[in-house]
Amino acid sequence: MFNHGWHNYLEHAYPADELNPVQCNGRGSDKSDPTNININDVLGDYSLTLVDTLDTLAIMGTQDQFEEAVRLVLEQVSFDKDSKVQVFELNIRALGGLLSAHVFASDPSFGHSIKGYNGGLLNLAEDLANRLLPAFQSSKTGIPYPRVNLRYGVPRTETVETCTAGAGSLVLEFGVLSRLTGNPYYESVAKRALKAIWDRRSPLDLLGNVINIQTGQWIHTASSTGAGIDSFFEYVLKAYVLFGETEYLNMFEDAYGAILQHIRDPSGYIYRNVHMSSGTLMATWIDSLSAFMPGLQVLHGDLESAIKGHLIFYNIWKRYHALPERFDYYQKTVDIAFYPLRPEFVESTYHLYRATRDPFYLQVGEMIIEDLNNRTRLACGFANIGDVRTGRLEDRMESFVLSETLKYLYLLFDICKSTSLYDVYGCHGNIHVFKLIFSY
C-alpha cells in the first residue's frame, strides 16, 4: 500500500506538495484563492509529501529510496516561498520530517545513516524554523500567530485567534532543533507558548479551544480531547518522555486528571465537549481526531481507559468502514461525513497491540487495511472519502497518508521493527522519530 501511494506521488505529482489520485496529477498552494485555508494552511510549494515521508522511507523502504529522497530534498526543496502557511502544520509535517530524517541520516545506531551526509537536512530545518519564528516574536503573550508568510513574516491583517493545539504543540520539534543545533532559543519560544496556554487554564484545570494571542482571553470555551485541543495533551506527555523534564509530567498529570473528572462521561467510554469553567456539557459529538487518546493513555499507563476508549471508535469504524470527521454519540448519527484517511485510530490500535499483544488489534488492523483498499485505493493512489455513508471520494491524498497512516499500519504488523524503534527512539504526534535527548 505504501509503495503504491509513494510511487504514484513521485510519478504523477512530484515536485508538487500532494497527489490528486483521481486526476493523477499534483496539487500545490491555491494561488487563485489565498483565503482557501483548507489547502493553503498546509501546501506552500515545497514538495510537502516528499519532506513528510522521509523517515517513513527509512523505516519501511529500502536504503536506496531513503537516500534518493534525501538527495531530492537537499537539491530541490526551499522554504523561501511567498506562501502564508499554518505554523502548526509546517511544524509537525515539515520541520518534524526534516529533523527525523536528519537523525536517521546522521546516526548509524539505527542502520540508515548516509555516507557523506553533512547535516544538510538540519540546516534546512533551522532555516524553516527561522521563517516560523516571527509568529512568536509579534505576540504580546508569547502565544504564536496561527499563520506566517514564509518570506515576509506575519501579515498585518493576520487573525489573532489561534487554537490550543496549534499554539501548544510545538515544543517537541523546536526542542529537538535546539538540542541538535545548540541554540536554546527555539525551545524557549515554544515552551513559553505552551506555558502561556497552560497558565490560562480554568480552576478545573481545563483548557478552552480558541484563544486571543494578544490579550490571552479565551474566545471558544469548549474543552475536549478532540480538534483544537488534542495534541496539546500529547505534546506535554511526550515532552517529558523525550526531554526528561518533570515540569511537563506535572502539567500532564493535572490535565489528565481534569479530563477524567470533567470530560470523560460516567461510562468511561465517551470523552465529551464541556465548558472549561463549569464542566457542563456543551455538545454531544466526538470527532475523529480524538481517536488518538487511547494511544496516549497507553503511553501514560492507563491501559483500562485506553481499551474502553478505543472500542467507541472501533464500533464507529465497523458501522461506516471509516471514521466520519464528527459523530453524534447521543443521536447515533454522522455530523460531518468526510474521512481524509487520518491516522489517529490506527495509531491507537498500534499502541494497544504493542502493550497487550492481543490479536484483536491485529484484526482491527486487517479491517482497516481491507476498507482502505476497497474504498479508497485508485490507480494513482488513495483518495479521501468525502462521505463515509455513500463512499463518495475526493481528489486528494494528504501527506499524512504516507507519513502516518500507512506507517502505523506497517509497524502494527512488524512488531520486531516496532520494538527496536521504541528501544532507541521516541515518536511525536506525527510519528516522526526523534532520539531521546535530555540535555544540550
Asked whether 166 and 424 are in contact (CB, 8 A), the reply is no
What is the 8-class DSSP label of residue 217? -
Question: How many degrees, rounded to 5, is the angle at CA 233 between CA 267 and CA 224?
Answer: 45
Q: What is the domain partition of the chain in residue ranges?
A: 1-438
Active site residues: 89, 230, 325, 344
What pLDDT is stored for residue 144 in this prediction? 99
Asked whether 92 and 41 are in contact (CB, 8 A), the reply is no
What pLDDT is stored for residue 62 in this prediction? 84
**pTM higher than 0.85, yes or no?**
yes
Q: Are β-strands 384-387 and 381-382 bridged in parallel, bridged antiparallel, or unpaired?
A: unpaired
Asked whether 25 and 37 are in contact (CB, 8 A), the reply is no
What pLDDT is stored for residue 110 in this prediction? 86
What pLDDT is stored for residue 422 in this prediction? 53
* Residues sharing a CB contact under 8 Å with residue 311, sequence separation 6 or more, in sequence order: 269
Residue type (1 letter), 269 = Y
Asked whether 440 and 246 are in contact (CB, 8 A), the reply is no
Q: What is the pLDDT along the chain (440 residues), one digit of tens a residue?
A: 999 999 999 999 999 999 999 999 999 999 999 999 999 999 999 999 999 999 999 998 789 999 999 999 999 999 999 999 999 999 999 999 999 999 999 999 889 999 999 999 999 999 999 999 999 998 999 999 999 999 999 999 999 999 999 999 999 999 999 999 999 999 999 999 999 999 999 999 999 999 999 999 999 999 999 999 999 999 999 999 999 999 999 999 999 999 999 999 999 999 999 999 999 999 999 999 999 999 999 999 999 999 999 999 999 999 999 999 999 999 999 999 999 999 999 999 999 999 999 999 999 999 999 999 999 999 999 999 999 999 999 999 999 999 999 999 999 998 666 555 555 455 444 557 665 554 55
Q: How many other CB atoms sit within 10 Å of the CB of residue 115? A: 6
Asked whether 139 and 214 are in contact (CB, 8 A), the reply is yes
Asked whether 210 and 271 are in contact (CB, 8 A), the reply is no
SS3 362: helix
The C-alpha cell that represents 38 in the structure block: 483548507
* Residues sharing a CB contact under 8 Å with residue 4, sequence separation 6 or more, in sequence order: 377, 381, 382
The C-alpha cell that represents 170 in the structure block: 510545538
The CATH number assigned to the domain with range 1-438 reads 1.50.10.10
Q: Give all strands (DSSP E) within 221-304, no chain letters.
A: 222-223, 273-275, 281-283, 285-287
At which residue does the C-alpha cell 474521512 appear?
339
What pLDDT is stored for residue 436 in this prediction? 54
**With DSSP H G I counted as helix, E B as strand and the rest as coil, what are the percentages for the chain, rounded to 5?**
50, 15, 35
